[in-house]
A and B are shown apart, each in its own frame.
Chain A
Amino acid sequence: MVNYREDRLNRIFAVLSDPTRRAILARLASERGLSVSDLAEPFAIKLPAVMKHLDVLDDAGLIRRSKTGRTVRVTIADGCLKPAVDWLERRERFWSASLDRLVDFAEAKERQAKEQGR
C-alpha cells in the first residue's frame, strides 16, 4: 500500500524529472505572478506545450493560476516542495551525525598508527 506521503513524494519527483518544468518552477521561485506568455518566452516550444507543463505542475499542487481579464498569472504554491525537502533533510541529519563520528574515529586511528611508527 502506498501511503499519502510517499505518493506525494513520488508525484513531486515525477513532475521535476522534466527539465522544462524544473526551469519553469525555478523561474517562478524568484518571480511571482508571471503570465503564461512571460513563462513561455525563454523556451523554444509552442504555447500549448507550455500550457501542458503548467497543467502537470498544477495537478501536482506546485503552482496556482489566476485569471485577470485575459491574462492568466502563475504563482508558485507556498511550501509545495516540502515533502522533498524533508526527505533530503532527514537523510542529511542521519549521515551528518554518522560522518562526524567517523571523522573522530578515523583520526584517532591515524594518530595511533603514527605513534606505532606506521
Chain B
Amino acid sequence: MTTATLVRRIAARPDIVFDALVTAEDIGSWWGPADFPAISAASDPRVGGAFEVRFCTADGREHVCAGEFLEITRPTQLVMSWRWTSGGEDDERDRVSRVEFRLRAIDIGTELTLVHAELSTEVSARSHEWGWGGALDKLTRRFREGDRS
C-alpha cells in the first residue's frame, strides 16, 4: 500500500479544526487543488453519511470527489472513503482510497495529520494485510533524487 502523509500545526483549537473537516459550508472553503477552490460541497457528518465536493479547473473541467464517513470521533479522529466520481486523474477514476485525519491538541492549538492511502487494488489490499504501511513512501523518497536526474 502506498500512502501520502501530511502534517500541519494550526493555531486553532481541535474542535474548530474538526468542524472545518466535516461541515459542508466549511469544507467548501478549503478543499481542492491549488487555485481551484470548491464550487460546492455537501456533507452528512455521521458514520455512513456521504460527502461530495465539486470544483472546476482552469480548462473548464468539473471534478467531483465523493465518499463516506467511516469513523467520526470529535475532535480527535475522522476517517472517510474517497474517490473521484468525475474528472480527476484517469488512472484513479473509481478507485477507492481511505483518508484519515488525526487531531492532537498542542500548545498553539492543533496538530493535524492527514494520511491518504490507496485501498482499492488487490495489491494494496494484500500489502495492507502485511502491514508495511508507509514503507514505500520512505523507499520512494529515497529514490526521488535519482529518478529526477
> Does chain A bind chain B?
yes
**Which chain A residues have a beta carbon within 8 Å of chain B's beta carbons?**
3, 5-6, 9-10, 13-14, 16-17, 19, 22, 25-26, 29, 76, 78-82, 84-85, 87-88, 90-107, 109-110, 113
Contacting residues, chain B, for A105 (C-beta < 8 A): 20, 26, 29-30
Task: Decide if B135 is an interface residue (CB 8 Å cutoff).
Answer: yes
The smallest C-beta distance from B23 to any residue of chain A, in angstroms, reads 10
The smallest C-beta distance from B59 to any residue of chain A, in angstroms, reads 16
B residues 1-48 near A (Cβ < 8 Å) are: 1-2, 4, 6, 8, 10-13, 16-17, 20-21, 26, 29-35, 37
Chain A at the B interface: mostly helix, strand, loop or mixed? helix
Is the CB–CB distance between A10 and B146 below 8 Å? no
Query: What are 14 A-B pairs at a CB distance below 8 A?
Result: A10-B123, A13-B123, A13-B127, A16-B136, A17-B127, A81-B147, A84-B140, A91-B116, A97-B32, A99-B30, A102-B31, A103-B10, A105-B29, A107-B12
Is the CB–CB distance between A9 and B4 below 8 Å? no
- Cα(A81)–Cα(B91), bound, Å: 17
